[in-house]
Chain A
Amino acid sequence: MEITASAPAEPTTSTLHKLLRMRETGLIAIILVMFVIMSFASPYFLTWVNMRAMVMAFAVEGIVVVGMTILLISGGIDLSVGSVTALSMVIAGWLFLQGIDPWVASAIAIAACTAIGAFMGFFVTRVGLHHFIVSLAVMVIARGACLLGTGGRPLGLYTLPPEFKFIGQGTIGPIPLVIIIFLVVVLVFDFMLRRTTVFRKVFYTGSNEKAAAYSGIRTKKVIFLTTTLCSALAGFAGIIYMARFGSAQPTFGQGMELNVIAAAVIGGASLTGGAGTIFGAILGVVLLSVVSSSLALLDVSVYWQDIIRGSILLAAVSIDHYLNKKRS
């Protein structure tokens, strides 16, 4: 390949250059700085218990972030993930209370959530509505269904067998199973997104839907599948929450969608599609959690926490937008 003088990239420095320019590098740096500051500010911060609590706090939500990131890359968005997570709990919990085996009940709940995703995918790809509107409607509908099915009260699932509760409460060695499940999901999808042809098509579709169609890619199928996958993962997360809490809470996950979208976007996912990584999105989750945890340890009012989280989102997106503009 010919390299001309006019090309700005110099091969010797560009790998390092690229690494420095990568979103993930910046996020890791910020997280590390926060760790250092916090370990001085609070003796409790760098303890095993705190670390574990922090990871537990974001692990299940992290699974939802994976689905959201993939959907964002394909050019979509899903506001219903919080409601769908709750609905998954409620369906599985209700079926369990009707005497159905919890594993079967969970499988049915996840299948139902997958069907909800397919339902949204249908409205987006066949009817031609925008993801935002479709998922907004489903967000409200799913929440309504949760309240309807439970009468608005949490379902106590005290008789869940221990081997089922193990999913949410058990540990393997010192590590909670929840964290292991989270890591497996993240690693599998990160790998697939980077390496498989199926997920490459997600990038093509999100980057330029028309060009993707002109490359023979069935873009509607791709969008349908990413929409479905996002809801399926939200349903899966709901089951883990149920096993962890030992109850099904109809009001669970309100506002979760914003957290999840914020994490993905901070991690580099583009709201216009075509860009994003699972690794980056998880770093976004970690950053938001570290901030929350720090603020809590520093005794900052919870009301401030929302203001600060929102500001971080705005700052991250602004910086990104500015850098992109400068580049082009």
Chain B
Amino acid sequence: MPDNVILKISNVSKSFGAIRALRGVDFELRRGEIHALAGENGAGKSTLMNVIDGILKPDSGEIIWDGKPVRINSPTKAQKLGIGFVHQEIALCPDVSVAENIFMATTNISRSFLMDYKGLEAKAREVFRQLSDIDPSVLVRDLSISNQQLVEIAKALTLDCKVLILDEPTAALTDKEAQVLFGIMRRLADSGIAIIYISHRMVEIFDNCDRVTVFRDGQYITTRNVAEIEPGDVVNAMVGRKIENLYPDKQSKEEASPDIILAVKGLTQHPRFSDVSFHLKKGEILGIAGLIGSGRSEIVKGICRLDGDVSGDVWLNGEPLILKHYQDSIAAGMVYLSEDRKGDGIFLDMPISANVSALKLQQVASPLGLINRELEDGQAERLGDKLNLKCGQLSDPVSSLSGGNQQKVAIAKMLSVNPKLIFLDEPTRGVDVGAKAEIHRILRELARSGVGIVVISSELPELIGVSDRVLVVREGRIGGVVEGDMITEENIMHLASGLDAQELTG
């Protein structure tokens, strides 16, 4: 039924410099269907959606709207065609009413001098009649996240949209709220609107969507009817890539040690995570996997007391740990490398040596608290050499370094306290391939020398490449543990998206 196709993408490519984000992809969307788009981070889903919404211009390829080729060169053009895009982050004005938010675009182009609040509210009420019973006169600030999401959807619908793009709309919703959203999605689809639904959660895709298209590495892989396939098929299609051997050798059987560096039992912090128990053995690298928002970083920050109080027990090298503050964690030899390097990992405009010494200034100071510049520079130089840091002078600000070298400074900061255990959250984010391999080698050396290494990463190939065991976190709980040959993308994705542990394959 080709006349049923509202939007067709054929052979679209888009590159950012050397990175080919989309390589000749195809995509077809029919009226009245809910079409899931699946793929790992970086597979090209967002790029394609941004092309459809006119935010990005494709390098080549064709977009056919309702049977006619079109050029979508701006979001305004996309709106005129009838494409509504609900982004993952809610972008509403919290201090004005729901009605005003919904009609922001109309107000913007309105010719009348005065605001017609009554008219806006009446129109908003009309829009919500088919959605839910949100009062258009209340402030957006006073709505729950799920209702704010509905306002975003209403905003898209007022533009008379024929295609609605929902980018991970359930990421911030509870199960119940998500179910309400799915009901609304189905009603909209029944009225003829085509919905593109982006999600990582297999269960949602299989319960609510009609078809699914899978992308991988910027390429179109397949489109299938959901009724005809299994979740495992989708995961396989998403992953199906050979992992190159960029990683250092793993721990051998002979190296395995029975000594336990870290033991965690019943760690809980409502509502972020609950009843988390695991351990880390000497010499091994433990990976932590999980979808964004699963609570993997929160667990680790909880162990170090970086983010509020937690309950549960933690032992370091057999000693029970009672920590009140992150300082105590540092003193005990347990440090955390932040996932957001620029946001909270380093002091960008401060000298390299001052960055390296930040965790324990006493080490480079006299007993009276006077900083000894020679000691401080010496420490930075020693650790910089160890990590093969490439820099000009140690007094240069960290902002003068490349991403990979900035990360080495952050790691040097961790090493400056001779830690017993390092948690590394996304240790190679924004780091080029060469430095990445180096960081992985350093981690393995540290593990061999007896330092406990726990790596959190969104990049499955990285986790699989460096970890001896992988802990999978799902919705604030341990979804499962895989080790040895069982560490595969399929198994991790299975556990992370909530399928049965029995289905794992080696």
Contacts and interface: CB of A to CB of B under 8 A. Distances in A.
Interface residues of A, number: 33
Interface in B397-425: 399-400, 413
B121 interface: no
A274 interface: yes
Interface string A200-213: 11011001101111
Nearest to B381: A1
Contact of A213 (B344, B347, B362, B396): B344
A198 B369 contact: yes
Interface string B250-278: 00000000000000000000000000000
B325 interface: yes
Contacts of A8: 392, 400
Interface string B325-368: 11101100000101000011111111000100011011001000
A74 to B, nearest CB: 13
Contacts of B393: 9, 11, 14
A198 B370 CA distance: 9
Given A7-B392, A9-B396, A14-B393, A216 B325 contact: yes
B349 A197 contact: no
A141 to B, nearest CB: 29
B503 to A, nearest CB: 39
Interface in B464-480: none
Contacts of A213: 306, 326, 344
A3 B352 CA distance: 14
Contacts of A200: 354, 361, 371
Contact of A208 (B306, B344, B392, B400): B344
A9 B350 CA distance: 16
Given A195-B371, A197-B362, A275-B349, A7 B391 contact: yes
A4 B402 CA distance: 12
B384 interface: yes
Contact of A214 (B336, B369, B388): B336
Contact of B344 (A9, A11, A214, A216): A214
B279 to A, nearest CB: 25
A207 B347 contact: yes
A197 B369 contact: yes
Contacts of B394: 1
A214 B392 contact: no
A328 B344 contact: no
B390 A216 contact: no
Interface in A256-301: 274-275
A8 to B, nearest CB: 7
B59 interface: no
B369 A216 contact: no
A214 B326 contact: yes
Contacts of A18: 395
A211 B346 contact: yes
Nearest to A324: B349
A2 interface: yes
Given A9-B392, A197-B369, A200-B371, A211 B327 contact: no
Contacts of B345: 211, 214
Contacts of B347: 203-204, 207-208, 211-212, 274
A216 B396 contact: no
A21 B349 CA distance: 15
B327 A207 contact: no
B385 interface: yes
B443 interface: no
B344 A201 contact: no
Given A204-B350, A218-B327, A210 B344 contact: yes
A196 interface: yes
Given A204-B354, A207-B350, A211-B338, 17 more contacts: A1-B391, A2-B390, A3-B392, A7-B390, A8-B392, A9-B392, A14-B393, A18-B395, A195-B370, A197-B369, A198-B369, A204-B358, A208-B344, A208-B346, A208-B347, A208-B348, A217-B358
13 contacts: A2-B388, A4-B390, A14-B393, A196-B365, A197-B365, A201-B361, A204-B347, A204-B354, A210-B343, A210-B344, A211-B338, A216-B326, A218-B325
Q: Which 10 A-B pairs have the closest CB atoms?
A: A9-B392, A210-B344, A7-B392, A197-B361, A216-B327, A207-B347, A215-B358, A216-B330, A211-B344, A197-B369
